[in-house]
A and B are shown apart, each in its own frame.
Chain A
Amino acid sequence: MAGAMKMRATLGSGYTDVRVLMTHPMTTAQSNQPLHFIQNITVKQNGKAVVEAQISQAISRNPVFTFRIKGGAKGDKIEVSWLDNKGETSSIEAAVA
């Protein structure tokens, strides 16, 4: 199953730390299953894109990423979304704690 996400956004020293977990099979061309993997990830801070990622089938199953954004404040709205090679998408939103 692909879809569910978890995220934690916290304040570090001088930056916002964003840890996000995505539920996705991330199957490869080498496996016996149909190729199914996330291709695009967008991280937004208060509605503005800060990280745009393109990823391949070489990212581990149920991907986990950590990103950092300079500065930031408690309550900032962080949103992470993904799009896979079958056109499926998912997103999650949280306030910086």
Chain B
Amino acid sequence: MNNLRRKLVGVAALLLLKPFAALAAAWNKDAFGAKTPQDALKGIGAGNPAPSNDLAIEAPQIAENGAVVPIEVSSAIAGTTAIAVIIEKNPFPLAAQFDFQNGALPYVKLNVKMNETSDVRAVAIAGGRQYTASKEIKVTIGGCGG
């Protein structure tokens, strides 16, 4: 009896969980599957972003370990609603996209893997326009095998 009850509870739990999985937030498969920085940019709707000095990338010039490269991106462009990070020479260049709303500041600090020395490009979206800045990070040991 107890066993049956446990099983029924288990099934009920699974049924309850399913709809949540179905509600899974969107993941931009095309952009993340892109194999060139140009296709990644197009994938996030930023085919031809304008260079901007108001988009700052803080990162080491040389990363000894490509498996953990700390990168900080912040935008001083008014009305920034999204920031994306593209590692140009990674097998799949788009690393992340962050959408900001309800008071979140256009700022993020993250750790990324880098396969080799590469330009790291930040893209900001503000008022429907796209802006970009980039910085080269030299990598001693690649970090994509992890």
Contact = CB atoms under 8 A, between A and B. Distances in A.
Nearest to B23: A83
Contact of A66 (B24, B101, B103, B109): B109
A24 to B, nearest CB: 12
Interface string B92-129: 10111111111111011111111100000000000000
Contact of A56 (B26, B69, B92, B107): B92
Interface residues of A, number: 38
Interface string B125-146: 0000000000000000001111
B105 A68 contact: yes
A63 B105 contact: no
Interface residues of B, number: 41
A69 to B, nearest CB: 5
A31 B145 CA distance: 4
B55 to A, nearest CB: 16
B144 A30 contact: yes
Interface in A16-67: 26-31, 39-40, 42-43, 45, 48-61, 63-67
A53 B101 CA distance: 11
A53 B99 contact: yes
Given A39-B27, A67-B104, 10 more contacts: A15-B105, A51-B99, A52-B25, A52-B101, A53-B99, A56-B95, A58-B95, A58-B113, A63-B111, A64-B111
Q: Which 9 A-B residue pairs are closest in the complex by CB-CB distance? A: A66-B109, A60-B111, A50-B104, A40-B25, A58-B95, A68-B105, A55-B96, A70-B103, A30-B144
24 contacts: A26-B146, A28-B145, A30-B91, A30-B144, A30-B145, A31-B144, A39-B25, A40-B25, A42-B25, A49-B102, A50-B102, A51-B100, A53-B98, A58-B90, A58-B113, A59-B110, A60-B67, A60-B69, A60-B113, A64-B110, A66-B107, A70-B103, A70-B105, A87-B24
